Structure 1
Protein backbone atom coordinates (compact mmCIF):
# COMPACT_ATOMS: atom_id res chain seq x y z
CA UNK A 1 0.00 0.00 0.00
CA UNK A 2 2.79 2.29 0.85
CA UNK A 3 4.47 1.52 -2.46
CA UNK A 4 1.31 2.46 -4.42
CA UNK A 5 1.00 5.80 -2.63
CA UNK A 6 4.62 6.46 -3.43
CA UNK A 7 4.07 5.74 -7.11
CA UNK A 8 1.05 8.04 -7.23
CA UNK A 9 2.98 10.83 -5.56
CA UNK A 10 5.82 10.42 -8.01
CA UNK A 11 3.45 10.52 -10.96
CA UNK A 12 1.36 13.47 -9.80
CA UNK A 13 4.19 15.77 -8.76
CA UNK A 14 5.84 16.06 -12.18
CA UNK A 15 2.46 16.70 -13.82
CA UNK A 16 1.73 19.55 -11.47
CA UNK A 17 5.13 21.06 -12.16
CA UNK A 18 4.51 20.89 -15.92
CA UNK A 19 1.02 22.39 -15.48
CA UNK A 20 2.51 25.32 -13.57
CA UNK A 21 5.08 25.90 -16.28
CA UNK A 22 2.46 25.72 -19.03
CA UNK A 23 0.00 28.03 -17.22
CA UNK A 24 -0.27 31.32 -19.10
CA UNK A 25 1.06 34.43 -17.33
CA UNK A 26 -1.42 37.16 -16.40
CA UNK A 27 -1.02 40.23 -18.57
CA UNK A 28 0.44 43.22 -16.69
CA UNK A 29 -1.97 46.09 -16.13
CA UNK A 30 -1.40 48.99 -18.48
CA UNK A 31 0.02 52.16 -16.87
CA UNK A 32 -2.16 55.24 -17.02
CA UNK A 33 -0.95 58.51 -18.53
CA UNK A 34 -0.51 59.96 -15.05
CA UNK A 35 1.69 57.01 -14.02
CA UNK A 36 3.83 57.33 -17.13
CA UNK A 37 4.45 61.03 -16.42
CA UNK A 38 8.03 61.47 -15.20
CA UNK A 39 8.57 62.51 -11.60
CA UNK A 40 10.35 65.67 -12.71
CA UNK A 41 7.27 66.83 -14.64
CA UNK A 42 5.05 66.16 -11.62
CA UNK A 43 7.38 68.28 -9.47
CA UNK A 44 7.38 71.11 -11.99
CA UNK A 45 3.59 71.04 -12.18
CA UNK A 46 3.36 71.20 -8.39
CA UNK A 47 5.68 74.22 -8.28
CA UNK A 48 3.60 76.08 -10.85
CA UNK A 49 0.47 75.83 -8.71
CA UNK A 50 0.22 78.98 -6.58
CA UNK A 51 -0.21 78.32 -2.90
CA UNK A 52 -2.79 80.09 -0.78
CA UNK A 53 -0.02 82.01 1.01
CA UNK A 54 1.38 83.34 -2.27
CA UNK A 55 -2.06 84.43 -3.45
CA UNK A 56 -2.71 86.28 -0.22
CA UNK A 57 0.66 88.11 -0.23
CA UNK A 58 0.11 91.82 -1.04
CA UNK A 59 2.14 93.55 -3.72
CA UNK A 60 5.00 95.75 -2.58
CA UNK A 61 4.21 99.43 -2.81
CA UNK A 62 6.47 101.44 -5.12
CA UNK A 63 8.89 103.79 -3.35
CA UNK A 64 8.13 107.49 -3.63
CA UNK A 65 10.68 109.24 -5.83
CA UNK A 66 11.54 112.43 -3.97
CA UNK A 67 13.51 115.32 -5.45
CA UNK A 68 14.45 118.51 -3.62
CA UNK A 69 12.81 121.76 -4.73
CA UNK A 70 16.02 123.38 -6.02
CA UNK A 71 17.01 120.20 -7.85
CA UNK A 72 13.71 120.24 -9.74
CA UNK A 73 14.19 123.92 -10.47
CA UNK A 74 17.67 123.28 -11.89
CA UNK A 75 16.44 120.48 -14.16
CA UNK A 76 13.38 122.38 -15.41
CA UNK A 77 14.66 125.97 -15.63
CA UNK A 78 18.24 126.77 -14.70
CA UNK A 79 20.01 124.25 -16.95
CA UNK A 80 18.13 125.50 -20.01
CA UNK A 81 18.79 129.15 -19.15
CA UNK A 82 22.53 128.51 -18.77
CA UNK A 83 22.64 126.62 -22.06
CA UNK A 84 20.95 129.54 -23.77
CA UNK A 85 23.30 132.09 -22.18
CA UNK A 86 26.60 130.35 -22.96
CA UNK A 87 25.60 128.30 -26.07
CA UNK A 88 27.24 125.04 -25.01
CA UNK A 89 28.01 122.45 -27.69
CA UNK A 90 26.91 119.62 -25.40
CA UNK A 91 24.48 119.44 -22.50
CA UNK A 92 27.27 117.80 -20.50
CA UNK A 93 29.04 121.18 -20.47
CA UNK A 94 26.21 122.88 -18.58
CA UNK A 95 27.61 123.72 -15.12
CA UNK A 96 26.01 122.24 -12.02
CA UNK A 97 26.69 122.12 -8.29
CA UNK A 98 28.69 118.98 -7.55
CA UNK A 99 28.89 119.15 -3.75
CA UNK A 100 28.80 121.48 -0.74
CA UNK A 101 31.34 121.15 2.08
CA UNK A 102 30.40 122.67 5.44
CA UNK A 103 33.24 122.90 7.97
CA UNK A 104 34.10 124.43 11.32
CA UNK A 105 37.47 125.00 12.96
CA UNK A 106 37.38 124.38 16.71
CA UNK A 107 40.56 125.82 18.19
CA UNK A 108 39.23 125.71 21.73
CA UNK A 109 38.99 121.92 21.44
CA UNK A 110 42.71 121.89 22.33
CA UNK A 111 41.84 122.83 25.91
CA UNK A 112 38.42 121.21 26.22
CA UNK A 113 37.14 118.37 24.04
CA UNK A 114 33.49 119.15 24.83
CA UNK A 115 33.70 122.18 22.50
CA UNK A 116 34.47 119.85 19.58
CA UNK A 117 31.62 117.53 20.57
CA UNK A 118 29.29 120.53 20.64
CA UNK A 119 30.45 121.71 17.19
CA UNK A 120 29.96 118.22 15.72
CA UNK A 121 26.46 118.00 17.17
CA UNK A 122 25.53 121.44 15.76
CA UNK A 123 26.83 120.59 12.28
CA UNK A 124 24.79 117.39 12.27
CA UNK A 125 21.68 119.34 13.22
CA UNK A 126 22.29 121.93 10.49
CA UNK A 127 23.08 119.48 7.68
CA UNK A 128 21.15 116.37 8.72
CA UNK A 129 24.18 114.18 8.01
CA UNK A 130 26.94 112.47 10.01
CA UNK A 131 29.97 114.72 10.52
CA UNK A 132 33.65 113.84 10.12
CA UNK A 133 36.13 115.09 12.72
CA UNK A 134 39.22 116.67 11.15
CA UNK A 135 42.74 116.19 12.51
CA UNK A 136 45.88 118.30 12.39
CA UNK A 137 48.19 117.23 9.57
CA UNK A 138 51.31 118.42 11.37
CA UNK A 139 52.40 119.69 14.75
CA UNK A 140 52.52 123.46 15.36
CA UNK A 141 54.47 124.31 18.51
CA UNK A 142 53.35 127.95 18.70
CA UNK A 143 49.67 126.91 18.88
CA UNK A 144 50.37 123.78 20.95
CA UNK A 145 48.89 121.60 18.21
CA UNK A 146 50.04 118.01 17.86
CA UNK A 147 49.90 115.98 14.66
CA UNK A 148 46.73 113.86 14.54
CA UNK A 149 44.92 115.94 17.16
CA UNK A 150 41.21 116.59 16.45
CA UNK A 151 40.78 120.31 15.75
CA UNK A 152 37.61 120.64 13.67
CA UNK A 153 34.68 119.07 11.88
CA UNK A 154 33.32 118.93 8.35
CA UNK A 155 30.57 117.33 6.31
CA UNK A 156 30.22 116.83 2.54
CA UNK A 157 26.73 117.10 1.09
CA UNK A 158 25.54 115.71 -2.25
CA UNK A 159 22.22 115.00 -3.94
CA UNK A 160 18.94 115.97 -2.28
CA UNK A 161 20.55 116.85 1.06
CA UNK A 162 22.87 119.27 -0.71
CA UNK A 163 19.96 121.05 -2.42
CA UNK A 164 17.92 121.10 0.80
CA UNK A 165 20.80 122.71 2.70
CA UNK A 166 21.33 125.28 -0.07
CA UNK A 167 17.61 126.08 0.00
CA UNK A 168 17.66 126.72 3.77
CA UNK A 169 20.90 128.71 3.51
CA UNK A 170 19.62 131.07 0.81
CA UNK A 171 16.01 131.48 1.92
CA UNK A 172 16.11 131.10 5.71
CA UNK A 173 19.60 131.47 7.23
CA UNK A 174 21.17 134.37 5.30
CA UNK A 175 18.10 136.64 5.60
CA UNK A 176 18.43 136.27 9.41
CA UNK A 177 21.89 137.90 9.39
CA UNK A 178 21.72 141.31 11.05
CA UNK A 179 22.15 144.19 8.56
CA UNK A 180 22.59 141.70 5.72
CA UNK A 181 23.67 143.37 2.47
CA UNK A 182 24.48 140.36 0.36
CA UNK A 183 27.50 138.09 -0.09
CA UNK A 184 30.70 138.95 -1.91
CA UNK A 185 30.66 138.24 -5.67
CA UNK A 186 34.47 137.91 -5.62
CA UNK A 187 34.84 134.93 -3.28
CA UNK A 188 35.52 132.52 -6.16
CA UNK A 189 38.78 130.59 -6.49
CA UNK A 190 39.26 131.03 -10.25
CA UNK A 191 38.07 127.48 -10.98
CA UNK A 192 34.34 127.92 -10.48
CA UNK A 193 34.17 127.18 -6.74
CA UNK A 194 32.68 129.60 -4.20
CA UNK A 195 33.55 129.99 -0.50
CA UNK A 196 31.18 131.63 1.96
CA UNK A 197 32.08 132.49 5.54
CA UNK A 198 29.35 132.53 8.18
CA UNK A 199 30.12 134.35 11.43
CA UNK A 200 27.45 132.75 13.61
CA UNK A 201 25.91 129.29 13.45
CA UNK A 202 22.79 130.59 15.19
CA UNK A 203 21.40 131.97 11.91
CA UNK A 204 20.29 128.42 11.11
CA UNK A 205 16.84 127.62 12.53
CA UNK A 206 17.98 124.17 13.70
CA UNK A 207 20.23 125.76 16.37
CA UNK A 208 18.76 126.75 19.73
CA UNK A 209 20.72 129.71 21.13
CA UNK A 210 20.02 128.67 24.74
CA UNK A 211 21.57 125.22 24.23
CA UNK A 212 24.89 126.06 22.53
CA UNK A 213 28.28 126.16 24.29
CA UNK A 214 29.37 129.28 22.42
CA UNK A 215 28.81 131.17 19.16
CA UNK A 216 31.17 129.99 16.43
CA UNK A 217 31.63 130.47 12.69
CA UNK A 218 31.25 128.11 9.75
CA UNK A 219 32.66 127.89 6.25
CA UNK A 220 30.53 126.80 3.29
CA UNK A 221 32.40 125.73 0.13
CA UNK A 222 30.24 125.29 -2.97
CA UNK A 223 32.00 123.13 -5.56
CA UNK A 224 30.68 123.38 -9.14
CA UNK A 225 31.58 121.81 -12.47
CA UNK A 226 31.94 125.25 -14.08
CA UNK A 227 35.37 125.77 -15.72
CA UNK A 228 35.52 129.43 -14.72
CA UNK A 229 34.10 131.96 -12.26
CA UNK A 230 31.81 133.63 -14.79
CA UNK A 231 29.76 130.50 -15.41
CA UNK A 232 29.77 129.58 -11.72
CA UNK A 233 28.55 133.06 -10.75
CA UNK A 234 25.70 132.83 -13.25
CA UNK A 235 24.79 129.37 -11.92
CA UNK A 236 24.64 130.47 -8.27
CA UNK A 237 22.80 133.69 -9.10
CA UNK A 238 20.03 131.68 -10.77
CA UNK A 239 19.69 129.57 -7.62
CA UNK A 240 19.14 132.80 -5.69
CA UNK A 241 22.58 133.55 -4.24
CA UNK A 242 22.27 137.16 -3.00
CA UNK A 243 25.46 138.69 -4.39
CA UNK A 244 26.07 142.25 -3.27
CA UNK A 245 26.43 145.05 -5.80
CA UNK A 246 29.90 146.59 -6.04
Structure 2
Protein backbone atom coordinates (compact mmCIF):
# COMPACT_ATOMS: atom_id res chain seq x y z
CA UNK A 1 0.00 0.00 0.00
CA UNK A 2 1.70 3.12 -1.22
CA UNK A 3 0.80 6.35 0.52
CA UNK A 4 -0.59 9.01 -1.78
CA UNK A 5 0.90 12.45 -1.14
CA UNK A 6 2.44 15.32 -3.06
CA UNK A 7 5.71 13.43 -3.52
CA UNK A 8 3.87 10.45 -5.00
CA UNK A 9 1.93 12.80 -7.26
CA UNK A 10 5.06 14.58 -8.48
CA UNK A 11 7.19 11.48 -9.02
CA UNK A 12 4.67 8.95 -10.34
CA UNK A 13 1.52 10.67 -11.58
CA UNK A 14 2.86 13.78 -13.35
CA UNK A 15 5.20 11.80 -15.65
CA UNK A 16 2.32 9.50 -16.67
CA UNK A 17 0.03 12.44 -17.42
CA UNK A 18 2.80 14.30 -19.27
CA UNK A 19 3.58 11.25 -21.38
CA UNK A 20 -0.03 10.56 -22.34
CA UNK A 21 -1.27 14.11 -22.97
CA UNK A 22 2.03 15.94 -23.70
CA UNK A 23 1.15 19.21 -22.00
CA UNK A 24 3.12 22.24 -23.12
CA UNK A 25 3.00 23.87 -19.69
CA UNK A 26 3.41 22.26 -16.28
CA UNK A 27 0.39 24.19 -14.99
CA UNK A 28 -1.88 22.41 -17.47
CA UNK A 29 -1.31 19.07 -15.75
CA UNK A 30 -4.44 18.15 -13.77
CA UNK A 31 -4.23 17.70 -10.03
CA UNK A 32 -6.55 17.13 -7.11
CA UNK A 33 -8.07 20.30 -5.73
CA UNK A 34 -10.23 18.97 -2.88
CA UNK A 35 -12.45 16.18 -1.63
CA UNK A 36 -15.92 16.96 -0.31
CA UNK A 37 -17.84 14.68 2.05
CA UNK A 38 -21.53 15.44 2.37
CA UNK A 39 -24.29 13.88 4.45
CA UNK A 40 -27.90 15.04 4.45
CA UNK A 41 -30.07 13.87 7.33
CA UNK A 42 -33.25 15.89 6.97
CA UNK A 43 -35.44 16.45 10.02
CA UNK A 44 -33.86 14.37 12.79
CA UNK A 45 -33.38 14.81 16.51
CA UNK A 46 -30.45 16.75 17.92
CA UNK A 47 -28.96 13.55 19.38
CA UNK A 48 -28.91 11.78 16.00
CA UNK A 49 -27.51 14.89 14.34
CA UNK A 50 -24.72 15.14 16.92
CA UNK A 51 -23.83 11.45 16.57
CA UNK A 52 -23.71 11.74 12.79
CA UNK A 53 -21.52 14.82 13.08
CA UNK A 54 -19.10 12.89 15.29
CA UNK A 55 -18.99 10.05 12.74
CA UNK A 56 -18.11 12.43 9.91
CA UNK A 57 -15.46 14.04 12.11
CA UNK A 58 -13.90 10.62 12.84
CA UNK A 59 -13.98 9.65 9.17
CA UNK A 60 -12.55 12.88 7.80
CA UNK A 61 -10.32 14.06 10.61
CA UNK A 62 -11.95 17.47 10.86
CA UNK A 63 -15.18 18.87 12.23
CA UNK A 64 -17.99 19.16 9.65
CA UNK A 65 -19.75 22.37 8.71
CA UNK A 66 -23.46 22.23 9.46
CA UNK A 67 -25.78 23.04 6.56
CA UNK A 68 -29.17 24.63 7.16
CA UNK A 69 -32.45 24.53 5.24
CA UNK A 70 -32.88 27.51 2.94
CA UNK A 71 -36.64 27.25 2.87
CA UNK A 72 -39.43 25.37 4.62
CA UNK A 73 -40.75 22.15 3.08
CA UNK A 74 -43.89 20.97 4.84
CA UNK A 75 -43.89 17.51 3.26
CA UNK A 76 -40.51 16.73 4.79
CA UNK A 77 -41.27 18.52 8.09
CA UNK A 78 -38.40 20.94 7.51
CA UNK A 79 -38.48 24.57 8.58
CA UNK A 80 -36.31 27.37 7.29
CA UNK A 81 -33.02 27.57 9.21
CA UNK A 82 -33.24 24.02 10.54
CA UNK A 83 -29.97 22.00 10.46
CA UNK A 84 -30.39 19.29 7.83
CA UNK A 85 -26.91 18.12 6.89
CA UNK A 86 -23.19 18.49 7.16
CA UNK A 87 -20.26 18.86 4.82
CA UNK A 88 -16.48 18.61 5.06
CA UNK A 89 -13.97 19.92 2.55
CA UNK A 90 -10.57 18.24 2.65
CA UNK A 91 -7.53 19.88 1.10
CA UNK A 92 -3.76 19.32 0.99
CA UNK A 93 -2.40 16.59 3.29
CA UNK A 94 -5.76 15.63 4.81
CA UNK A 95 -7.10 15.19 1.30
CA UNK A 96 -4.23 12.88 0.34
CA UNK A 97 -4.53 10.96 3.63
CA UNK A 98 -8.25 10.44 3.09
CA UNK A 99 -7.72 9.40 -0.53
CA UNK A 100 -5.09 6.84 0.50
CA UNK A 101 -7.44 5.41 3.11
CA UNK A 102 -10.36 5.51 0.67
CA UNK A 103 -8.55 3.67 -2.13
CA UNK A 104 -6.70 1.07 -0.08
CA UNK A 105 -9.09 0.40 2.82
CA UNK A 106 -12.63 1.53 2.14
CA UNK A 107 -13.21 0.58 -1.49
CA UNK A 108 -12.07 -3.05 -1.00
CA UNK A 109 -14.42 -3.34 2.00
CA UNK A 110 -17.50 -2.36 -0.01
CA UNK A 111 -19.87 -5.20 -0.70
CA UNK A 112 -19.60 -6.60 -4.25
CA UNK A 113 -17.05 -3.97 -5.27
CA UNK A 114 -15.84 -4.50 -8.82
CA UNK A 115 -14.66 -0.99 -9.51
CA UNK A 116 -16.07 2.50 -9.53
CA UNK A 117 -18.66 3.62 -12.04
CA UNK A 118 -16.83 5.36 -14.91
CA UNK A 119 -19.91 7.43 -15.82
CA UNK A 120 -20.03 9.34 -12.52
CA UNK A 121 -17.95 12.23 -13.84
CA UNK A 122 -19.78 15.53 -14.15
CA UNK A 123 -18.39 16.74 -17.47
CA UNK A 124 -15.96 19.16 -15.81
CA UNK A 125 -13.40 16.64 -14.59
CA UNK A 126 -14.89 16.00 -11.14
CA UNK A 127 -15.93 12.60 -9.80
CA UNK A 128 -18.97 12.06 -7.57
CA UNK A 129 -20.08 8.91 -5.79
CA UNK A 130 -22.28 7.84 -2.93
CA UNK A 131 -21.64 5.33 -0.19
CA UNK A 132 -24.66 3.41 1.13
CA UNK A 133 -23.47 3.23 4.74
CA UNK A 134 -20.65 4.20 7.06
CA UNK A 135 -19.55 0.69 8.04
CA UNK A 136 -16.78 0.52 5.43
CA UNK A 137 -14.74 3.02 7.44
CA UNK A 138 -12.50 1.42 10.07
CA UNK A 139 -13.12 4.28 12.53
CA UNK A 140 -16.79 3.37 12.87
CA UNK A 141 -17.64 0.71 15.43
CA UNK A 142 -20.49 -1.54 14.33
CA UNK A 143 -21.92 -1.75 17.85
CA UNK A 144 -22.09 2.03 18.22
CA UNK A 145 -24.28 2.82 15.19
CA UNK A 146 -28.05 2.96 15.42
CA UNK A 147 -28.88 3.37 11.73
CA UNK A 148 -27.10 3.09 8.40
CA UNK A 149 -26.40 6.51 6.97
CA UNK A 150 -24.69 7.02 3.67
CA UNK A 151 -22.71 9.93 2.36
CA UNK A 152 -21.71 11.57 -0.88
CA UNK A 153 -18.07 11.92 -1.83
CA UNK A 154 -16.92 14.37 -4.50
CA UNK A 155 -13.36 14.42 -5.79
CA UNK A 156 -12.66 17.82 -7.33
CA UNK A 157 -9.81 18.07 -9.85
CA UNK A 158 -8.38 20.75 -12.11
CA UNK A 159 -8.81 18.50 -15.17
CA UNK A 160 -10.60 20.06 -18.12
CA UNK A 161 -12.18 16.83 -19.38
CA UNK A 162 -13.55 13.68 -17.83
CA UNK A 163 -10.98 11.60 -19.71
CA UNK A 164 -8.10 13.49 -18.10
CA UNK A 165 -9.74 13.22 -14.68
CA UNK A 166 -10.28 9.49 -15.08
CA UNK A 167 -6.66 8.97 -16.08
CA UNK A 168 -5.53 11.08 -13.10
CA UNK A 169 -7.61 9.04 -10.66
CA UNK A 170 -6.45 5.77 -12.21
CA UNK A 171 -2.84 6.92 -11.87
CA UNK A 172 -3.54 7.65 -8.20
CA UNK A 173 -4.82 4.08 -7.76
CA UNK A 174 -8.60 4.17 -8.17
CA UNK A 175 -10.13 1.23 -10.01
CA UNK A 176 -12.91 1.72 -12.54
CA UNK A 177 -15.15 -0.94 -14.09
Above 0.5 in TM-score?
yes
- The answer to whether the aligner puts 1:205 opposite 2:138 as a matched pair is yes
- Return the structure number with greater relative CO, CA threshold 8 A, min gap 6: 2
Greater percentage in strand: 2
Residue 84 of structure 2: which of 151, 154, 159 is its match? 151
SS, match of residue 155 in structure 1: strand
1:33-86: CA deviation from partner (whole Å, max 9, x where unpaired): xxxxxxxxxxxxxxxxxxxxxxxxxxxxxxxxxxx6432211111011101111
Please, what TM-score do these two structures have when normalized by structure 1? 0.69
Please, what TM-score do these two structures have when normalized by structure 2? 0.95
Residue 125 of structure 1: how far off its partner (Å): 0.3
- The answer to whether the aligner puts 1:235 opposite 2:153 as a matched pair is no
- The answer to whether the aligner puts 1:112 opposite 2:72 as a matched pair is no
Residue 152 of structure 1: how far off its partner (Å): 0.7
Task: State the partner residue of 1:195.
Answer: 128
Q: Aligned equivalents of 2:112 and 2:169: distance in 1?
A: 22
Greater percentage in helix: 1
After TM superposition, list the pairs within 5 Å mapping 1:1-246 onto structure 2: 69-107=4-42, 110-244=43-177
Residue 223 of structure 1: how far off its partner (Å): 0.4
| Root-mean-square deviation over aligned CA pairs | 1.1
Q: 1:240 to 1:69 in 2, by over 3 A?
A: closer
CA contact (8 A) 2:4 2:99 kept: no
